[in-house]
Amino acid sequence: MGRSAKPISKKAGRPIPSLFYSALFLGVFFLYLRGLCPAFMDDDSPETITAGFTLGLQHPPNYPLAALLDHLASLVPIGGAAFRINLLTALVASLGVCLLALNASRLLRMGSGGEPRLPMACALAGALLLAFSKTYWQEALGAKGGIYMVEMALLLLLFHFLIRGESERGETGPWIPLAFFLAGIGFANDWPTQFIFLPAFLLFLLVRKDSRLPYPPPKFWICGAAFGLLGISPLLYLPLRAHLHPVLNLGAPENCGLFVKSLLREYVDFREPSLWGVFTGILKGTSTWGRFRELARLIFDLQSSQIPVHLAQDMPAGALVFAVLGIFAWRNSGARRTLMAALVSLACLFLAFCVALLMPADPNMRWYVHNYLLPSNWIAALLAALGLGARGGVLRVKSGCAFFIFLLVALPAQQFFSNFRRNDQSLQVLRYDYAANLLKSAPRGAVLFAEGDEDYFPLYFFQEVEGKRPDVVLLPSFTLFEDWGVEQVERLHPSLGLDIPAGNFPGPVERLQAAASEIVQKNLTRSPLAFTYIDGAFHRYVLAQNPSLEFRRSGVLLEFAAPPASKGPWLGTGQLRLRHLEDSPTNSHDSLRGILQVYGLLGAKP
């Protein structure tokens, strides 16, 4: 492990004044508040807001901790529900920035020989590198980003306790059970991310600083397991709440089988190929090792090149250089195992990205990749802070050197000016207004087939949070792929007359075709039937199979040309709500292209 770490002097152990962290928190928070989205962003934010407001269940793995936290935020009497939950995201993101500064300053003070000013300056630079990185900043401004921000905060707090446990209280001190608790509660928030960091946590516990020291006694592991189970306990929210059948109940994890399927996201296996899915297929006899090797090669070829793309987009080149130098700062740190755990975590994240799940190859879906790799941002920022504060190695500078001060300012400043405008969500109402236009376009008592994330999540928000248009029967097409989805439609909307036997279909596509076709046939002359322009399952598997069906355009909907649909006059494009269609800098985001294509098809102008 190299030469012995320097002892921690009293001066080095002196904490940085709380005023420093308070100023950092307020500065970052007000920056995020300035660009905060007033409604919901171009992601799953309307679903997240609705799940929090109504105590519903988002798409698997359902994010129970996020739903509970968002529900608490929704009770605060400030603005509307969307603003409250977006505000919580900004607060947690700002807290994460402060936690990174706290970790960096502590590590730097442990190896600084007692100089308090250098750790403070370098910790500030590292924290701002994280705060101003494109993906972190972007996700700090909307509700769905709150899931990622909570995960980042938990991981940073976990590493803080590991550092304290290693440097202050010994290897089995009281900080370690708290680390077990944080590791457990992370599983109740976004377990795939937490699972990636689990090997590093276990390695930290098993690797001894001194080989002559004994391993922790059994009571240490029993205590840790108890704290870990306490952290995981929010997962009980899923079956308990699903059993009450909330309107937003995706995956319906009300029994053991559905709970496991929902937690493991098995319902998307046919749409999101993964090595785990192929492996379980091999065990069931439905797949082969050749398919496993083929998929592994395809994932690696497509995604390995995206890692440097993400790092280059989210971190300046200079910061990445200092991050490499930060690795050498281990030799001046009394918490080498913790830093080793950070590197192992980074390696596990990259390895999983390169071999586990096939990300969309569509260039317009790159945001998916950046969100997955978001944890690398805080590790790179932490290592950059350590590299800036390094006294030896490749770069040797004095804390008072003008060039060094320039670097401390220039690296975060480059991030700030590069991302300030493109992360301004203050005018982002495109998706909110699109959902309002959908409801304006729908006739009274319509049965509406929603085709994509762009429509059904905002419509859930309007109906369940704002109480608008309860007369519209919302049918998200994707839920009809599954037995639980068909059962939900039968239970929530018995007037539709849907009654198909469960389990009698060879696959999800056949189940959707049967359910949607039965709804159309039984209600075509009884209720207005409409569907959205977004190309999705209803278009591909129902309309394509019934070319004789006729429909008319009204606003941003297409209605079946049956007697109940003859409401007239049809909603024209001049009656649509089109605020900030051209002047919002974030309307160019890839995930909004479906809405923009609909407006372009209609020839709508702001």
Residue 243 lies in a domain: yes
Q: What is the mean pLDDT of residues 478-492?
A: 91
pLDDT at 171: 56
What is the pLDDT, as a whole number, of residue 123? 92
CA-closest candidate to residue 371, choices 550, 564, 132, 136: 136
**Residue where a domain terminates, one of 384, 419, 454:** 419
Is residue 57 domain-shared with residue 125, that is, in the same domain? Answer: yes
Tokens standing for residue 20: 């420093």
Q: Tell me, yes or no, whether 445 and 572 share the same domain.
A: yes
Q: Does 289 reside within a domain? A: no
- H or E segment and range at residue 476: strand 473-476
The pLDDT score that the predictor gives to residue 560 is: 87
Residues 402 and 462 in one domain: no
**Residues 563 and 449 both lie in one domain:** yes
> Residue 131 contacts by C-beta under 8 Å, 6 or more apart in sequence?
28, 31, 93, 94, 97, 137, 412
**What local confidence, expressed as pLDDT, does residue 5 receive?**
41
Q: What is the pLDDT of residue 116?
A: 58
Whether 395 shows a pLDDT value over 50: the answer reads no
Q: Which residue has the tokens 């994890």?
A: 253
> Looking at the structure, do residues 435 and 529 belong to the same domain, yes or no?
yes
For residue 396, what pLDDT is reported?
45
Together in a domain, 455 and 551: yes
Domain end residue (candidates: 392, 419, 446): 419
- Tokens matching residue 336: 């080498």
Number of domains in the chain: 2
CB atoms within 10 A of CB 397: 15
Determine, yes or no, domain membership for 114.
yes
Share of the chain above pLDDT 70, in %: 88
The CA-based diameter of the chain, rounded to the nearest angstrom, is 85
Question: Helix crossing, 375-389 with 317-328: angle to 10°?
Answer: 70
- Looking at the fold, whether 345 and 492 belong to one and the same domain comes out as no
Q: Would residue 274 count as lying in a domain?
A: no
- Domain extent, residue 563, equals 430-602
- What is the per-residue pLDDT across 244-258, written as a single tens digit (0 to 9) for each? 999 999 999 999 999
Per-residue pLDDT, 227: 93
What pLDDT sits at residue 211? 59
Reported as a pLDDT band with limits 50, 70 and 90, residue 109 is confident
Q: Provide the angle, in degrees to the nearest 10, between the axes of the packed helices 289-303 and 306-314.
A: 30
Map tokens 């391993």 to a residue.
215
pLDDT at 343 over 80: yes
Rounded Cα–Cα distance for residues 512 and 378 (Å): 42
pLDDT tens, position by position, 569-595: 566 677 888 898 888 888 887 778 888
State the pLDDT confidence band at 106, using cuts at 50, 70 and 90.
confident
What confidence category does residue 391 fall into, taking pLDDT thresholds of 50, 70 and 90?
low
Q: Which of 363, 358, 365, 148 is nearest to 268 (CA)?
A: 358
The percent of residues above 90 in pLDDT, for the chain, comes to 47
What is the residue whose two structure tokens read 């959908």? 438
pLDDT tens digit sequence for 76-103: 999 999 999 999 999 999 999 999 999 9
Beta bridge partners of 345: none
Question: Where is pLDDT greater, at 87 or 11?
Answer: 87
- Please say if the pLDDT value at position 178 is more than 90: no
The most confident of 163-167, 217-221, 425-429, by mean pLDDT: 425-429
Same domain, 379 and 412: yes
Hey, which residues does 414 pair with through a beta bridge?
A: none
Query: Whole-structure pTM over 0.75, yes or no?
Result: yes
| Per-residue pLDDT at 11 | 43
Each residue's pLDDT tens digit, 17-57: 778 899 999 999 999 999 999 998 888 899 999 999 999 99
- Tell me the CA end-to-end span of the chain in Å, nearest whole number: 63
Based on the domain organization, do 403 and 495 belong to the same domain? no
Q: Which residue has the higher pLDDT, 171 or 118?
A: 118
461 lies in the same domain as 368: no
Instruction: Establish if 277 belongs to a structural domain.
Output: no
Residues 329 and 448 in one domain: no
**Helical (H) or strand (E) element with 353:** helix 336-355
- In this prediction, residue 325 has a pLDDT band, given cuts at 50, 70 and 90, of confident
Instruction: Give 241's pLDDT tier (boundaries 50, 70, 90).
Output: very high
Residue of 297 and 395 predicted with greater confidence: 297
Is a pLDDT exceeding 60 seen at residue 13? no
Spatial neighbors of 261 by CB under 8 A, at least 6 apart, are 60, 251, 253, 267
Is 323 within 8 Å of 380 (Cβ atoms)?
Answer: yes
Element (H, E) at 257: helix 256-263
Among 105-109, 114-118, 334-338, 565-569, name the one with the lowest average pLDDT: 565-569
Based on the fold, state whether residues 375 and 463 are members of the same structural domain. Answer: no
In angstroms, the CA 349 to CA 599 distance is 39
Contact indicator for 53, 40 with CB cutoff of 8 Å: no
Task: Concatenate the DSSP letters of all residues of 389-437 into one string.
Answer: H-SSTT----TT-HHHHHHHHHHHHHHHHHHTTTT--TT--HHHHHHHH
Has residue 360 got a pLDDT over 80? no
Place of tokens 């171009």: 42
Per-residue pLDDT band for 10 (boundaries 50, 70, 90) equals very low
Of 394, 419, 444, the domain-final residue: 419
Q: Is the pLDDT of residue 278 over 60?
A: yes
In a domain, residue 437? The reply is yes
Q: Specify if 292 maps to a domain.
A: no
- Which pLDDT belongs to residue 392? 41
- Give the chain's mean pLDDT: 85
Region 548-568: mean pLDDT is: 76
